[in-house]
């Protein structure tokens, strides 16, 4: 993603000159009053004192954010309210004319924004950037006070600017063309939880007033460390930067240079960034054969196969003593070998451990078999290795395995049917045999993400979008509470009656007022003994990217700080498929999502 750094100045008498000054000081965009160069006008007067031709069409679209007239369309004063509404409509029409989809920034001042919502709803064009202070100094003072009473905190929350935005958001029906511009203030720093909550919002940019910059020992303008951290969090969430200065400020070049350094420090440039907040239907490798591109992505993970190799090595050392090493053979079956990374891990582990192995490769994908067969001939021709084009559940082995190795886990642990596959492969394993992995656990937590909600909503015209689970690289989210363990599966499962259905109800507590948009899904797995990998946010394996989390959407529900959020989850199984059902039970009971697997299921 390319960030923009925007110069915001009021009082300019020439938009072209402001753009030139901004460009000379390394700013991409300017934000200024839509009425720059304009004489005081009657709101019914529609002719500005500057024509559209002062800039080219491309310049209007790419270089300007318009700040509308400083009026209050929800003022209690009826006369001023009507004047303000007329002014805002005039500004919106002019911005749309100049920019096709006008970038209009409007400030909200309090909790009552019904008229603003009505105007936004009436416009079919334009991007609305809602300028909201990051916190209210009155509220912030209570958040930092340990002796504040509940009634004091509750009263302060009435002036929490996030609540102003949230009420507007619901009034405009979660309009995807409306985003937030969060304004920082030198009057008080927001709490950590306040910042985290804003990160779950559709943030267009943050405004940094020039008063936040201080001179360092080198006589260079920088942000204090606490503000660096806060700004860094927003940059990591792809927020653009607007620097607000006085018209005669001589240090604007230093501000932009410093901010671009922060962007370089905090802007994640991982090659998978293009997947951020993108909803993907989970893979079904049991039913569908994966393509080579998908295999290649998995194989580039620098961590996963290293951990698998460590687990295999430890198993070999535990099962074969040093004295037995030259004569005892360990039979390893790789179930679902793909293009061979687990096979390589087995051979590497055996070489390091100095243990003898016989490897059986079982793969049902005929296209992958072609690649594996070539590897057997060219890379492993001197190895004790045997390849079978079979579904592991239907395979009749020439001998039983000491170790089963598989990577059948999905983003939610069991969502690619690892329990059903490994239960079906139990007949391949010796009575004292080992499975790698030996246990998987799924986790869930309530999350707020306006971006993900909008992405799901855009699918509703074609599919039952709120009845599906999605794999998604979670970016613009707020974790309302920490994840908790949901379902657990162990392997090998030697129970007399195998039942892979599950049901559980979990309760979470909201730390701040927020909106529940859905449920985050994660997993971790024990490969062997203490060798664990996973994507639980609390214990995520560093550097591993093979799995993105899952997202199970719900209809938006406003949550108050201290509320209990109860979530009920099922894993259901029938003869043809496996599916999840979920619903919110508290603070308000929601509909049951995905009943009968109508929107999303895993085919057996």
Residue 339 corresponds to which tokens in the numbers above? 């293009």
Alpha-carbon gap, residue 50 to 60, rounded angstroms? 13
Contacts of 529 (CB under 8 A, 6+ apart): 311, 314
Structure tokens at 483: 């994840």
Phi and psi for 179 in degrees, rounded to 5? -125, 175
Alpha carbons 416 and 437: distance in angstroms, whole number: 14
DSSP codes of every residue in 53-121: GGS-HHHHHHHEEEEPPS--TT-SSHHHHHHHHHHHHHHHHHHHHHHSS-EEEEE--SS--HHHHHHHH
Asked if 407 is an active-site residue, the reply is: yes
**179, burial (CB in 10 Å: exposed 0-12, middle 13-18, buried 19+):** buried
Q: How far is CA 495 from the centre of its chain?
A: 38
For residue 177, what are its two tokens? 């063309």
Q: Which 3 state secondary structure label does DSSP give 427? A: helix
Cβ pair 240, 202 in contact under 8 A = no
3-state helix, strand, coil in the chain (%, to 5): 30, 30, 40
- 407, 568, 581, 589: the catalytic one is 407
Specify whether the CB–CB gap between 158 and 205 falls below 8 A.
no
Contact 237, 267 (CB under 8 A): no
Q: Distance between CA 289 and CA 298 in Å, rounded?
A: 15
Question: What pairing do the DSSP bridges indicate for beta strands 439-448 and 484-490?
Answer: antiparallel
How many Cβ atoms from other residues are within 10 Å of residue 214's Cβ? Answer: 11
Instruction: Tell me: cis bond preceding 165? Omega within 30 of 0 counts.
Output: no
Told to judge if 416 belongs to the known catalytic residues of this protein, a careful annotator would answer yes
- Residue 536, CA distances (Å) to 57, 137, 346, 520 in order: 48, 35, 27, 10
Cα–Cα distance for residue pair 587/561, rounded to 1 Å: 11
CA distances from 557 to 120, 208, 420, 421, 590 (A): 22, 31, 35, 37, 9
Of the candidates 493, 363, 470, 484, which has an alpha carbon nearest to the alpha carbon of residue 419? 493
- Ramachandran sector of residue 560 (left: φ over 0; alpha: ψ -120 to 50; beta: rest): beta
Catalytic residue (choose from 183, 416, 420, 581): 416
Residues that are catalytic: 407, 416
């Amino acid at each position: 993603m390319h960030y923009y750094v925007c110069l915001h100045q009021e009082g300019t008498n020439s938009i072209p000159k402001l753009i030139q000054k901004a460009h000379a000081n390394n700013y991409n965009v300017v934000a200024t009053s839509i009425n720059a160069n304009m004489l005081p006008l009657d709101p019914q007067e529609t002719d500005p004192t500057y024509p559209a031709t002062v800039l080219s069409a491309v310049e209007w679209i790419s270089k300007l954010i318009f700040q509308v007239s400083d009026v209050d369309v929800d003022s209690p004063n009826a006369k001023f309210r009507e004047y303000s509404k007329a002014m805002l409509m005039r500004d919106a029409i002019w911005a749309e004319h100049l920019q096709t989809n006008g970038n209009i920034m409007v400030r909200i001042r309090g909790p009552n924004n019904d008229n603003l919502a009505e105007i936004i709803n009436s416009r079919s064009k334009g991007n609305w950037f809602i300028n909201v202070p990051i916190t209210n100094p009155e509220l912030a003072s209570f958040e930092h006070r340990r002796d504040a009473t509940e009634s004091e905190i509750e009263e302060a929350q009435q002036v929490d600017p996030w609540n102003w935005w949230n009420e507007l958001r619901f009034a405009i029906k979660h309009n995807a063309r409306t985003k937030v511009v969060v304004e920082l203030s030198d009057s008080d720093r927001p709490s950590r939880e306040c910042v985290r909550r804003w990160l779950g919002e559709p943030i267009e940019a943050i405004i940094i007033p020039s008063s936040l910059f201080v001179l360092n020992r080198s006589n260079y303008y920088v942000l204090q460390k606490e503000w660096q951290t806060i700004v860094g969090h927003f940059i990591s969430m792809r927020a653009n930067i607007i620097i607000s200065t006085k018209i005669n400020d001589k240090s604007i070049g230093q501000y932009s240079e410093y901010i671009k350094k922060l962007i370089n420090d905090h802007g994640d440039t991982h090659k998978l960034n293009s997947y951020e907040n993108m909803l993907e239907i989970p893979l079904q490798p049991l039913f569908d054969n994966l393509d080579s591109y998908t295999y290649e992505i998995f194989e580039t993970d620098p961590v996963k196969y290293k951990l698998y190799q460590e687990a295999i090595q430890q198993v070999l050392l535990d099962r074969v003593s040093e004295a037995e090493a030259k004569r005892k053979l360990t039979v390893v079956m790789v179930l679902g070998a793909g293009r061979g990374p687990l096979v390589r891990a087995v051979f590497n582990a055996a070489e390091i451990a100095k243990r003898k192995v016989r490897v059986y490769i079982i793969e049902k994908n005929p296209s992958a078999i072609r690649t594996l067969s070539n590897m057997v001939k060219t890379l492993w021709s001197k190895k004790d290795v045997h390849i079978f084009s079979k579904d592991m559940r239907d395979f009749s082995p020439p001998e039983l395995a000491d170790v089963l190795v598989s990577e059948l886990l999905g983003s939610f642990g069991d969502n690619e049917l690892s329990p059903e596959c490994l239960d079906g492969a139990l007949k391949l394993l010796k009575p004292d045999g080992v499975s790698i992995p030996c246990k998987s656990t799924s986790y869930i937590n309530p999350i707020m993400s306006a971006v993900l909600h909008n992405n799901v909503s855009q699918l509703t015209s074609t599919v039952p979008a709120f009845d599906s689970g999605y794999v998604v690289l979670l970016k613009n989210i707020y974790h309302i509470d920490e994840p908790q363990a949901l379902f657990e599966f162990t392997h090998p499962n030697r129970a007399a009656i195998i039942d892979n259905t599950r049901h559980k109800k979990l309760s979470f507590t909201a730390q701040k007022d927020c909106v529940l948009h859905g449920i985050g899904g994660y997993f971790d797995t024990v490969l062997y003994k203490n060798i664990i990998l996973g994507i639980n946010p609390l214990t995520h394996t560093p550097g591993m990217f093979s799995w993105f989390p899952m997202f199970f959407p719900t209809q938006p529900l406003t949550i108050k700080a201290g509320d209990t959020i109860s979530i009920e989850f099922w894993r259901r199984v029938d003869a043809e498929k496996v599916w999840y059902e979920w619903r919110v039970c508290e603070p308000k009971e929601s509909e049951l999502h995905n009943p009968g697997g109508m929107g999303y299921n895993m085919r057996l």
